[in-house]
Amino acid sequence: MPSPAYDVSSRPKRSGVERPACLLVVVTMLMAATAFAQKGVQVKTDDANRRVDITIDGQLFTSYLWPDTSDPKALKKPVLFPLMDSDGVTVTRGYPLAPRPHERVDHPHHAGLWFNYGNANGFDFWNNSDAIKPAQRDKMGTIYEDKIVSTKSGASRGELVATSHWTTGKGDRILDQTTRYVFSGGKGKRTVDMIITLKALEDVTFNDDKEGVLGMRVASWLESPEEKSGIFMDAAGRPTQTAGASPDATGVYLTSEGVEGPKVWATRGRWCTLTGHNPAGHTDSIAILDHPGNPGYPTYWHARGYGLFAANPLGRSIFDPKQPPFQYTIKKGDSTTFRYRIEIYDHATTPAEINHDADVFAAEKH
């Protein structure tokens, strides 16, 4: 029996406000779904732009960027850039990737947060940049991205695993690197763990050198007010030699051993913090935690007043001439792993607070 014809006239008539009301419900649901999707730690890959963006509750925390092998002016290693606190305040220097007026324009190889070394089998992976003169390039090394192995987003943490390789200025591939990043954060705090495994493709010796291994270049307001002259970017983008510290510099280093300020450089400790406030009065503390399983623990601090904040466990006599050189070698086919935790607090931390964090970090299994 055929179905009765549907009488269009029998449909209930809509009032003039019902359709917009329905549309409003749909839009609200979509907005709610979008907001829900942004909750937690999101790790999103953008291969076309050679980056992975990490957001926490919809707010950018940092981005993983890697070199373009076809561009001679590209980065010479993967980096995290920029790094922001939980209030969206950037704690890294902009130059050279995103220069800002009135910040220092020295050391173009200091970009964001990175891991490399100044003397691996005689090649300098630390100081390499597009500023290197052609005659010096064969003495440098570059860390090239291989692939993004995996990404994982989650309610309380996100993860990124990437592989790369160290190539000398002679074109020889000497190390394969696998880095696992773990991102987390909540109100008042952001954290990134870096677990770096290096596999030697030939015997690789990290000769005693001050340039290494985990480095971060901080915003001008986290520089030391005791640091004097420097080259700064003026409002028109021109480098200008200036006497005196950055006008907004307020940064103070402190180590687990109670060493403070400029005296921190070339001392050892299981953690170091850098605390300062920006011109708006916003206070941040950055902490780098060393791990007992790392070679050379506890690390030496290559912490400079001009804004370089680095942990270097592979230098020894370079920091203390009374000590024998630390020639750390990974034999061909062997691997070694470095673990670091970087914390960004939106307040001035206390030694008790960071000691607790360091204890927790030391006890964790990665």
Domain segments of the chain: what residues? Answer: 41-363
What DSSP element (H or E) covers 355? helix 351-363
Nearest to 287 by CA among 366, 221, 193: 193
Q: Mean pLDDT throughout 30-49? A: 75
* N-to-C CA span, the chain: 70
- φ/ψ region of 102 (left if φ > 0, alpha if ψ in -120 to 50, else beta) reads left
Instruction: Over range 149-161, report the average pLDDT.
Output: 98
How far apart are the C-alpha atoms of 34 and 55, rounded to whole Å? Answer: 14
Q: Which fold has domain 41-363?
A: Beta-galactosidase; Chain A, domain 5 (2.70.98)
Helix (H, G, I), strand (E, B) or coil at 37: helix
Average pLDDT rounded to a whole number, residues 276-280: 97
Tokens read off for 264: 């921190």
CB contact set of 334 (below 8 Å; sequence gap of 6+): 199, 200
> What is the DSSP annotation of 160-171?
EEEEEEEEETTS
Q: Which 8-state DSSP code applies to residue 118?
A: S
Average pLDDT, the chain: 90
Q: How confident is the model at residue 233 (pLDDT cuts 50, 70, 90)?
A: confident
Q: Quick one: pLDDT band at residue 232, thresholds 50, 70, 90?
A: confident
Report residue 15's pLDDT band, with 50, 70 and 90 as the boundaries: very low
CB of 247 within 8 A of CB of 293?
no
Residue 154 above 70 pLDDT?
Answer: yes
At 203-224, the pLDDT tens digits run 999 999 999 999 999 999 999 9
pLDDT over threshold 90, residue 184 = yes
Looking at the chain, which runs of residues are DSSP E strands? 41-46, 51-56, 59-65, 79-83, 113-117, 141-152, 157-168, 173-186, 189-200, 204-206, 212-217, 230-233, 239-242, 252-255, 271-277, 283-290, 300-303, 308-312, 328-330, 335-345
| Structure token digits, residue 301 | 């601090």
Identify the pLDDT of residue 231. 87
Q: 202, 174 in Cβ contact below 8 A?
A: yes
CB atoms within 10 A of CB 278: 17
Q: CA–CA separation, 28 vs 104, rounded Å?
A: 46
Q: pLDDT of 303-347, one tens digit each? A: 999 999 999 999 999 999 999 999 999 999 999 999 999 999 999
Residue with tokens 């370089």: 308
pLDDT band at 72, cuts 50/70/90? confident
Average pLDDT over residues 265-290: 98
How far is it, in rounded angstroms, from Cα 316 to Cα 300?
8
pLDDT given for residue 71 in this prediction: 86
